[in-house]
Amino acid sequence: MLEGSKALVLDFGGVVTKTLFETHELTEAALGLAPGTLTWRGPFDPAGDPLWRAMQADEISERDYWRERTRQVGELVGEDWTQMSDFVRAARGAEPGPILRAQALAAIESVREAGGKLAILSNELDLFYGADFRDKLAFLSHFDAIIDATHTGILKPDPRAYAQCCEALGLAAGDCVFVDDQMRNVVGAREAGMVAVHFDVADPAYSYQTALRKLGLEERGSP
């Protein structure tokens, strides 16, 4: 049992939810676009996504990347979208179920059952999804802290972001296992003293198994 002595700290987009790259078919259907219209694939095809490569090289920010994709997709459907949340709401609709990672929900339940703490540490939870999106996610009621740079203005990998999370949890950095799909944020967490796991969007099961093992747990249903 963890008895509140350790915490699983999760990034949100890509870690708790599937990436927009993985759900192009859902997006195209929701927006009335022909199948195959959206071809940018980010980490699933870096060679075919120059804008993604520019973001990974720190030539543009992650917010810059999604600002441009929002503009492009809005243009395809005749909308002048200026906020990422406009895109996400239109693409993902009112029901979040299909975009949640089953592995995330299982890991969250494992930590909860073991008495551990849970936190979200995101750069743009409400910015990308809209503030009302949280109301549709019942599992968030079990989280001890939700730190969102949409409101704090402190973006990972700024060490203050990790410090805010630890303070909210009432734990030392070394007692927190942090999971993020952006390596710069993983490096930042490690420099801040957290145990950190780089989330592989192509292998979410392995990533969550790794995080749970670092907490001394096994994923629910694992032998």
Q: pLDDT-derived band of residue 3, with 50, 70 and 90 as boundaries?
A: confident
> For residue 89, what pLDDT is reported?
87
Mean pLDDT throughout 196-222? 89
Q: Where are the beta strands (DSSP E) in 98-184?
A: 117-122, 145-148, 176-180
The structural domains of the chain, ordered by start, are 7-17+100-214 (3.40.50.1000), 20-92 (no CATH)
For Cα atoms 208, 16, 132, give the angle at the middle one, nearest 5 degrees.
160
Q: pLDDT-derived band of residue 96, with 50, 70 and 90 as boundaries?
A: confident
Query: 132-170 as b/e, with b when 16 or more CB fall inside 10 Å?
Result: ebbeebeebeebbbbbbbbeeeebbbbeebbebbbebbe
The yes-or-no verdict on residue 93 having pLDDT over 90 is no
58 C-beta neighbours (distance < 10 Å), count: 8
Mean pLDDT throughout 120-147? 93
> For residue 171, what pLDDT is reported?
98
**Amino acid identity of 87?**
F
The yes-or-no verdict on residue 82 having pLDDT over 50 is yes
> For residue 223, what pLDDT is reported?
37
The yes-or-no verdict on residue 222 having pLDDT over 60 is no
Q: What are phi and psi of 24, to 5 degrees?
A: -55, -40
> For residue 95, what pLDDT is reported?
76
Mean pLDDT in the chain?
Answer: 94
Q: Where are the beta strands (DSSP E) in the chain?
A: 7-10, 117-122, 145-148, 176-180, 195-198
Taking phi over 0 as left and psi of -120 to 50 as alpha, with beta for the rest, 123 belongs to alpha
pLDDT tens-digit profile of 16-52? 999 999 999 999 999 999 999 999 999 999 999 999 9
- How far is residue 112's CA from residue 186's CA, in Å, rounded to a whole number? 23
Q: List strands edge to edge, sheet with 195-198.
A: 145-148, 117-122, 7-10, 176-180, 195-198
> For residue 221, what pLDDT is reported?
44
At 60, is the secondary structure helix, strand, or coil? coil
Which percentage of the chain shows pLDDT scores above 90? 85
pTM, entire model? 0.91
